[in-house]
Structure 1
């Protein structure tokens, strides 16, 4: 997964849910700065030990859905991570609605959700529209469930979103836009 992130030595990355730090160590060896946002206090403690030799990493104990992500790093930051599948939609929305959204988002999500997010017209869901108002999603990599220990029940996929610098709708109009379109996706026919 790390190779497809295409990190450079000048990149600054917010990692969603570093867990025990396997991805964090790889990010730290490739990027200038990494801020890991982890909700589990036990993982935060373990990360302190795992990452003690990486001066370019800072761990923030917080719920990513409530964290002011744009405040962690200067403009031009990126977001990466392997997210809990139940947070995918809310997380993409939270990241894309930051006052300074990331310049690129690479998240490993449930494959079925990834396919909905990148669907072509005619196969769109509210999730597809919810992401496309902010930028263009791309399914970059499929990861079989057998690649993980413990093995989940579903396959995963890496979704990349490059947020538009000039979004299709002003942020102030988005709540009323979603109130308008949501009923169309609840009654598809």
Structure 2
């Protein structure tokens, strides 16, 4: 007889003892990666069935009996930390969520996990590859897009955003004209 224990990712730490003698106390720890934060929620399962959930990262059984035999695991969940965003054109920093834009002809506005950029007078020199880099304690994620200015563009607000979980992307927030007609989206 034994109580088998394991944890599912995300976890850190050594492997738990595979068996606990009957009558002893079994203590299982669910050590989460740092991003789950202080408000982490831990869900405990026995043989894939829900046992309990809450802020406790430790599950204590004791004294254990044959009724406690099974496969235990936990899941930790929390909130991804916010990201700092940086927007580059052809490798040159245009705007950052950590500092105001100092590039002439650009207006930038940052909010939580978003960076909005407006090119005041868009011209052919603004064509090219733009990259948005999101960085937080877990690492970074990058998205790139090529913007073509051959159509008739007016003021063009657009931005990059971080969706959490490693996804970063672009969103056009303005309007443009093609063959003299204004299109909105």
TM-score normalised to the size of structure 2? 0.21
More strand per residue = 2
More helix per residue = 1
**Structure label with greater radius of gyration:** 2
